[in-house]
């Protein structure tokens, strides 16, 4: 009697597991963005600065293209992606409309190139700021950015 009850319960568990697997779209797992962040830092700006610049390297460890939808942080009014271009000796910053990282590829945001333009900083940023990267597939990568005067390792 006890043994029958146990077997019956196991069958229900197996059935529930099968239903769960059937309910999951088979591609959902494979398409989940897998981006890793490294070397993140924000350059310390003079007090009262209206904007700061943030840098890091983003590596796509997944098997589908990772496309950045937006960047967000509670510590800033807004975050934009810029690229510094020097034309005829004059440096200008241009908005980068989108960032796509192919599987296995890395994109480095570094001084003189692409950077996060961090607008309207909060009065007190502290030593570390969290910035969230939202990807087109709905996944989110939160990265802690230390505030420092120079790039890590310099």
3-state class (DSSP) for residue 21: helix
* Interacting span for Cu ion (CB under 5 A) from 5-13, 32-40, 90-98, 105-113: 90-98
Q: Which residues contact 62 (CB under 8 A, 6 or more apart)?
A: 32, 33, 34, 35, 103
3-state class (DSSP) for residue 13: helix
Cβ count near 79 (within 10 Å): 20
Residue closer to Cu ion, measured from CB, 81 or 141: 81
Q: Do the beta carbons of residue 30 and residue 64 sit within 8 Å?
A: yes
CB of residue 50 vs Cu ion: minimum separation in angstroms? 11
> Phi and psi at residue 37, in whole multiples of 5°?
-105, 145
CB of residue 84 vs Cu ion: minimum separation in angstroms? 7
Residue closer to Cu ion, measured from CB, 11 or 78: 78
Q: Which residues contact 47 (CB under 8 A, 6 or more apart)?
A: none
93 binds Cu ion (CB under 5 A): yes
Given candidates 117, 129, 131, 141, which one binds Cu ion under the rule CB under 5 A? 117
Residue closer to Cu ion, measured from CB, 46 or 138: 46
82 binds Cu ion (CB under 5 A): yes
Residue closer to Cu ion, measured from CB, 51 or 64: 51
| Residue 53 to residue 44: CA distance in whole angstroms | 8
* Interacting span for Cu ion (CB under 5 A) from 5-13, 32-40, 110-118, 133-141: 110-118
Which residues contact Cu ion by CB under 5 A?
82, 93, 117
């Amino acid at each position: 009697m006890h043994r029958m009850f146990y077997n019956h319960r196991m069958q229900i568990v197996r059935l529930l597991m099968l239903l769960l697997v059937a309910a999951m779209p088979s591609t959902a797992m494979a398409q989940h963005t897998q981006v890793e962040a490294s070397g993140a830092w924000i350059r310390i700006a003079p007090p009262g600065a209206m904007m700061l610049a943030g840098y890091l390297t983003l590596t796509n460890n997944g098997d589908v293209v990772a496309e950045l939808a937006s960047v967000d942080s509670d510590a800033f009014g807004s975050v934009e992606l810029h690229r510094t271009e020097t034309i005829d000796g004059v440096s200008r910053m241009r908005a980068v409309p989108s960032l796509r990282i192919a599987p296995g590829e890395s994109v480095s945001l570094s001084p003189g190139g692409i950077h996060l333009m961090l607008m309207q900083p909060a009065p007190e940023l502290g030593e570390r700021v969290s910035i969230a990267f939202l990807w087109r597939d709905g996944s989110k990568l939160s990265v802690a950015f230390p505030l420092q005067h120079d790039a890590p390792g310099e």
